[in-house]
Every structure is written in C-alpha cells, then in structure tokens.
C-alpha cells in the first residue's frame, strides 16, 4: 500500500515547517467554513450525529474496558445504544442494545455475565455471540422454546466493529468499508509499533461543556502551543510541527520531527519502546485525528488516545488513555510513568479554560467571520471542510 502523504501539496516556511496547502488562502480570510450555529444548536448536533457519526467508523470504547470473557459494556454512538461484548472466543463483538422481542435495552450499566445476557422484561437470553439462547414459555408451555428457525432469526443485531491499537471502533453506516482499509494508511505508518503489547498507564475522563468539534480543532491547532503550553519547550521547538495529511477526508494531523511533550525526561528511566522503532522515529511525535472522534498521539515509548464522545451541542466527554509497553509495567518504571502521565494530563487541563472561552465566543456573530490563516490553520480547515461536506454546511458561505 502506498502510504506516503502525497495527495497534498506542501509549503515549507522559513522556519523549516511543512505546511499543507489546504483549503485556505488569503482570499478565504474572514470566511468561516463551519457556521457558529453548528457549535451551539441542538438541531445541528442531531444532524451531525446522523451525517458524521452514523456515516463511517467511530471510536466506541477501549478494549481494556472488557478485560474478561463475559464482560458487557453498553455505550451510545450517534444516539444509538450498542453493547460491546467480550465473546467466548475472547474477541470483542458489538451488537445493537435492543432485545429482539420488544426492543428493550438489555443493560444500561456494565455487567459481567457467565454465559448469557438476559433481558429483564420477559427473560429472553442471548449467548455472547449474540445468538438467542432461550425464550421462556415461548409457546406458552413450560419448556416451550422457539423453533430452531425462529431462534436463528432472533439473534442480537450485529454492528460492524474493529479493534485496533487498544480501541474499539464501530460503523453504523449501511455499507461499511472495512476498517483495515479505511484506517489502512495510519495502520501502515505505525506498523513498527506492537499494539498487542499496550499496557494501560492511566485513564481519565474530562467532562466538558463544549461542542465536540472545538475539542478536535484544539488538538489540530499547533499555533497555540507556545502560548498555552510553554512547558512543551522553547517557542522554536514548539513551533516545529509539520502538517501531515495521510488521507484528506479521514486522517489528518501533524508530527514533531524532534519530539515534544515529555522530551526532557527521556534521558533517565527511558521507557521501553513500543516496538522495533527505527532511529529516525525515536524522538518524533505523531498527532492525528482519525476522523471523526479518535485523537491519537504516538511517541516511541508511549501512546495516548483522547476519544471524543459528543453528548449534546454543548457537552462533550473526552476519554483519555495513556499506554506504554507492557515491559514498562515493571515497578522500576513507575516514576517515569507517573511523570509522563502528569505531563500529559496537565497539557489537557491547560486547554480547558480556552475551550470554554472558544465555546462562549460561538454565541457571537463574530464567530461567523473568523479567519483560519493559511500559514497555521490548514489542518483545522481540513477538519472543518470534512465536517462541512458531510453535514452540508457549505451552502451558507
């Protein structure tokens, strides 16, 4: 597979940064791509749930949420309740969370079952592969079960799903493209990483009263780093981010060729690498949005995910997880891991007041006259262009 990000033209600035030539030019100054109402309106939120979150692959959870066979975890994607289940074959499967009898959700809380998921209403029960196991008194007789044909038909409805890099993805569209194909270029770019060896270092939820798009845009905004996160490094180092477009409609972000967060700590207690990392990638950090809701960060010795879980127009939950190599589970790395996690959590905390103020600004008519600038904001503009195309926001411009 050709994974070189060749689809785009690139510009190199005087400081050596690579900037993609995206949708922005000086002519677009003062023109918004996504209208302000898309950050505040309930109708727009519902529309985006349908046109964005139900139209392709979305992050739906972490594999470590289901460590054991029989673990069942409900969640909601684009308003649709689904169940993540660790099956008897030790694989994660996803089903619509809806009993095949009267459509009741089977559980609203995580549960552990020994063999079957049982509906509380009339006690139909399902095996971990989704097949109907039993439906008591189905024929109104004591042992009356559905016929084999009826049983065959009445399994839980499967949702196409994929597990990669510790994450569970689902696809609620009518005609899903295989995940391996969709995310293929990123899987290939990171093929030196052994994701089977991920060890959870820390996990935290951030409950934010902001629109989901602002959280994504903030991570694609490399311009704010020296102003909001001065600890990331001297201005020259912090600004040294190359824009990277792996696939214009799906995988966009950037890379720090010489590393960023946590770099200063690398010399002592060097954490074990997450795979056979080539020399040129030992210092670099990749930051990508796997559209729409997985923000993934990779250095040679840690992997971070900030998964964006939109709840309403002005409410978003971020599920943040930091992973290291399983060899780093050794207690001698405890200090280095604690330092790393503190740095990463701190960076995210620093952004929160800015997100709230960005959200507040969306109530101003000024937000329809903002100026993403070609020198800095091409990646943000690309994200907004994908959103606008899917949700049909182009017509207001």
Q: Which stretch binds ligand FES (CB under 6 A): 115-123, 186-194, 253-261, 342-350?
A: 115-123
82 in contact with ligand FES (CB under 6 A): no
Q: Which stretch binds ligand FES (CB under 6 A): 8-16, 68-76, 99-107, 333-341?
A: 99-107
With CB under 5 to 8 Å by kind, the binding choice for 351 among ligand FES, Fe ion, none is Fe ion
- If the CB atoms of residues 24 and 99 are measured against ligand FES, the closer one turns out to be 99
- If the CB atoms of residues 351 and 377 are measured against Fe ion, the closer one turns out to be 351
119 in contact with ligand FES (CB under 6 A): yes
Burial of 270 (0-12, 13-18, 19+ CB in 10 A): middle
Q: How many angstroms separate the CA atoms of 33 and 145, rounded?
A: 57
37 in contact with ligand FES (CB under 6 A): no
- If the CB atoms of residues 111 and 228 are measured against Fe ion, the closer one turns out to be 228
In sequence order, the β-bridge partners of residue 357 are: none
Q: Which H or E element spans position 293?
A: none
With CB under 5 to 8 Å by kind, the binding choice for 151 among Fe ion, ligand FES, none is none
Nearest to residue 305, comparing CAs of 167, 181, 209?
A: 167
- Would residue 122 be called left, alpha or beta, if left means φ above 0 and alpha means ψ between -120 and 50 degrees? alpha
104 in contact with ligand FES (CB under 6 A): yes
Binding to Fe ion (CB under 5 A) within 334-373 occurs at: 351
Taking the complex as a whole, how short is the minimal distance between the CB of residue 286 and Fe ion, in angstroms? 16
Taking the complex as a whole, how short is the minimal distance between the CB of residue 134 and ligand FES, in angstroms? 10
Return all residues near 76 (Cβ < 8 A) that are at least 6 apart. 82
Tokens of 82: 């689904």
296 in contact with ligand FES (CB under 6 A): no
Tokens of 299: 């250095």
DSSP 221-288: --TTHHHH-GGG--HHHHT--EEEEEETTTEEEEEETT--TTGGGSSTTPPPPSB---GGGSS-EEEE
Nearest to residue 273, comparing CAs of 303, 318, 235, 316?
A: 303
Binding to ligand FES (CB under 6 A) within 122-161 occurs at: 122, 124
282 in contact with ligand FES (CB under 6 A): no
121 in contact with ligand FES (CB under 6 A): yes
Residue ranges binding ligand FES (CB under 6 A): 99, 101-102, 104, 119, 121-122, 124
């Amino acid at each position: 597979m050709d994974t070189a990000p060749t689809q785009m033209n690139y510009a190199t600035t005087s400081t050596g940064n690579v900037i993609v030539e995206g949708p922005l030019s000086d002519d677009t100054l003062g023109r918004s791509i996504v209208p302000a109402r898309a950050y505040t309106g309930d109708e727009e939120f519902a529309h985006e749930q349908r046109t964005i979150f139900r139209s392709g692959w979305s992050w739906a959870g972490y594999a470590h949420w289901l460590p054991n066979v029989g673990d069942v975890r409900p969640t909601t994607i684009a308003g649709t309740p689904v169940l993540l289940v660790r099956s008897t074959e030790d694989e994660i499967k996803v089903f619509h969370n809806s009993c095949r009898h009267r459509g009741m959700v089977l559980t609203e809380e995580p549960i552990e079952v020994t063999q079957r998921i049982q509906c509380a209403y009339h006690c139909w029960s399902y095996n971990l592969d989704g097949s109907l196991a039993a439906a008591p008194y189905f024929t109104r007789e004591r042992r009356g079960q559905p016929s084999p044909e009826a049983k065959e038909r009445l399994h839980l409805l499967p949702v196409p799903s994929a597990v990669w890099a510790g994450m569970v993805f689902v696809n609620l569209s009518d005609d899903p493209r295989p995940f391996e194909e969709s995310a293929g270029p990123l899987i290939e770019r990171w093929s030196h990483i052994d994701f089977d060896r991920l060890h959870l270092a820390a996990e935290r939820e951030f409950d934010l009263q902001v629109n989901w798009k602002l959280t994504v845009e903030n991570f694609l905004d490399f311009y704010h780093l020296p102003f909001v996160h001065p600890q990331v490094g001297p201005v020259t180092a912090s600004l040294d981010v190359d824009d990277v477009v792996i696939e214009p409609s799906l995988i966009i972000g950037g890379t720090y060729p010489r590393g960023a967060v946590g770099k200063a700590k690398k010399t002592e207690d060097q954490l074990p690498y997450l795979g056979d990392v080539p020399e040129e990638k030992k210092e670099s950090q990749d930051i990508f949005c796997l559209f729409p809701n997985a923000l993934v960060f990779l250095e040679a010795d840690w992997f971070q995910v900030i998964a964006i879980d939109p709840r309403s127009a002005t409410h978003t939950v971020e599920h943040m997880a930091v992973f290291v190599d399983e060899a780093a589970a050794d207690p001698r790395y405890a200090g280095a891991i604690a330092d790393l996690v503190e740095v990463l959590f701190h960076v995210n905390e620093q952004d929160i007041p800015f997100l709230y103020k960005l959200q507040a600004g969306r109530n101003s008519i000024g937000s329809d006259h903002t100026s993403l600038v070609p020198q800095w904001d091409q990646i943000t503009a690309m994200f907004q262009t994908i959103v606008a195309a899917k949700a049909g926001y182009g017509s207001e411009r």
